[in-house]
Chain A
């Protein structure tokens, strides 16, 4: 049952009820017990019965839990049976039948009570409770209408006729409530559908990335293998040194391509929390010195200095730290590489120090500190380069990745611009923090990394 249909049902139902209430009021001015009046009443009652049926079906179809449908259907059937029971009894009802009808009503109310009880156990409590109120309200209105309005019509007693329009109005209100409820269900269903679709798409994306990883890696093995063998002279000596030089360059590029590819896939996997860190004990000093050695030629080519400082000065005091060596190296490497790239005068300084977490105020803790104090390794990569505007830093801190700074774009043209993303993701996956400080354009930038020790 789609939304348009449900909407139409409620609309038509509301109109009919309104008509019914008005007509009922006017019809009962003189006591009616003639066949023409009976026909009219029968027609109206039939229409009401049909729309009540629609009403309940609409509600039932919008309940997501199957086990709740049965009590609802039963109570609906009984409510409608009561109406039909009057059709076939144009004699004045004996009191026994009244009792019987009352029992039927109690039974249908029980069905609704079961629904309520189940609704407490289900996840969609709010919605089901609302449906319960709606349905029980409907049943109540039907039953009281029967007892106080229809019964007097049949028996010719008119003192409770004024109930007719009031009950009709209440029923009208409940139908609007029903409309909004089902509308809410539609929204929920739509949201569930979208969530499901998203889940499927995400899975497809993961699968795609994994197979992409496989396919991208496959040609790397022979490519690297043959280059290695050529350079080792497996196929004979190379006479022309220029060829060898180019081949070495190609080998480096293959390695770069591979590491770029691996890092991108790593970032994806860290984001979907599929990747686990490969932790090992590591001396951060050696790691940074390795990076400096590798990037020194690049800095020297631009006439920049590349310094490494530790605080305190004695670098031996830096402790061994458990971390994923390759990834932390990649993160720092990218920060240093970026610093060199975006600096034309001066140079780049790397600073490493250990900092204790600020202790808890002593008055809060009597006796020994209950938690071991956490220590942080802080690494700063400062340059004297183009610097970053505040909004660029904000942009960067919000994790808006794969975007390069505005000035960087203007000054340095296109570049890969993913170095920072790699650094952010790898540091985050270690439970660390990364942020940037800059006094603005032209004043250099300092990137800080903080890793738990």
Chain B
């Protein structure tokens, strides 16, 4: 069985280091993108069939160059990426922001700091298997 690939959009270095260490241990293949424009580029490549579709995208909402909602909108705009499973995975939460995310079709909103590593892994596993 091939390892499920998770695309992680994250810009905080210590968090990236942790994920790079932990996720391969539990059997996920991961790729980390730290800038919004890289994600937009990646979405384009997925549309053109140059890159494979990830099983799940973990999307940080506050990135140095843009916010996650724009990325979410971009993904939902095209039929090829419309059905990608995208979880907001962030530490930034406000009810207005959450409403916008839900409106744009986010699959789940996770507050990083609220979960232990184990719980995060469980949630991801469950998300992939669905």
Whether A225 and B12, one on each chain, are in contact in the complex, defined by CB atoms closer than 8 angstroms, is no
Q: List 15 A-B contacts (CB under 8 A).
A: A215-B91, A218-B12, A218-B91, A219-B14, A220-B91, A222-B12, A222-B18, A224-B113, A224-B117, A225-B18, A226-B18, A228-B117, A258-B113, A274-B95, A276-B95
B113 and A217 within 8 A (CB): yes
Which residue of the partner chain B has the closest CB to A276? B95
Task: Collect the chain A residues with CB atoms within 8 Å of residue B76's CB.
Answer: none
B5-35 CB contacts (< 8 Å) to partner A:
12, 14-15, 17-18, 21-22, 25
B17 touching A213, Cβ below 8 Å:
no
Return chain B residues, CB-CB under 8 Å to A234. Answer: 25
Query: DSSP majority for the B interface?
Result: helix
Asked whether B47 is an interface residue with its Cβ less than 8 Å from the other chain, the reply is no
Give 1 or 0 for each of B90-121: 1 = CB within 8 Å of chain A CB: 11111110000000000000011100111000
Task: State whether the Cβ of B62 lies closer than 8 Å to any Cβ in chain A.
Answer: yes
User: Which residue numbers of B lie inside 8 Å of A, CB to CB?
Assistant: 12, 14-15, 17-18, 21-22, 25, 62, 90-96, 111-113, 116-118
From A213, A228, A274, give the contact of B92 (CB < 8 A): A213
CA distance in complex: A217, B113 (Å): 6
Majority SS at the chain A contact face: helix
Quick check: B92 and A210 within 8 Å, CB to CB?
Answer: yes
- A96 interface contact, C-beta 8 A: no
Q: Which residue of A lies closest to B93 (CB)?
A: A213
B15–A222 contact, CB under 8 A? yes
Count of inter-chain pairs, beta carbons less than 8 A: 56
Residue tally, chain A, CB below 8 Å to B: 22
Nearest chain B CB to A392's CB is how many angstroms away? 35
**A217 lies within 8 A of B91 (CB):** yes
A214 touches B116 (CB 8 A): no
Q: Is A275 an interface residue (CB 8 A)?
A: yes
Q: How far is the CA of A218 from the CA of B90 in the complex (A)?
A: 8
- CB-defined contacts of B91 to chain A, threshold 8 Å: 213-215, 217-218, 220-221
A214 and B92 in contact, given A221-B113, A225-B22 (Cβ under 8 angstroms): yes
**8 Å CB interface, A376-392 against B:** none
A222 B116 Cβ-Cβ under 8 A: no
Instruction: Report whether B22 and A229 are in contact in the complex, using a CB–CB cutoff of 8 Å.
Output: yes
B90 CB to nearest chain A CB (Å): 8
Q: Are B94 and A210 neighbours in the complex by a CB distance under 8 Å? A: yes
CA distance A224 to B118 in the complex (A): 11
Q: Please name all residues of chain B whose beta carbon is closer than 8 Å to the beta carbon of A210 when the two chains form the complex.
A: 92, 94
Instruction: Knowing A210-B92, A214-B92, A274-B94, say if A222 contacts B14 (CB, 8 Å).
Output: yes
A231 CB to nearest B CB, Å? 11
Cβ–Cβ contact A218 & B95, under 8 A: no
B18 near A217: Cβ-Cβ < 8 Å: no
A267 to B18, CA, bound (A): 31
Whole-angstrom CA separation of A276 from B14 in the bound complex: 31
A355 to chain B, nearest CB (A): 33
Q: Which residues of B contact A217 (CB under 8 A)?
A: 91, 111-113
Q: Are B117 and A229 in contact (CB under 8 A)?
A: yes
Nearest to B14 among chain A residues (CB) is: A222
CA–CA, A210 to B93, complex, Å? 7
18 new A-B contacts at CB < 8 Å, known A218-B113, A224-B116, A228-B118:
A210-B92, A213-B91, A213-B93, A214-B90, A214-B91, A218-B12, A218-B91, A218-B112, A220-B91, A220-B112, A220-B113, A222-B17, A225-B116, A229-B21, A229-B22, A262-B113, A274-B94, A275-B95
**Hey, which chain B residues are within 8 Å of A214, CB to CB?**
62, 90-92
CB neighbours of A218 from chain B (8 A): 12, 15, 91, 112-113
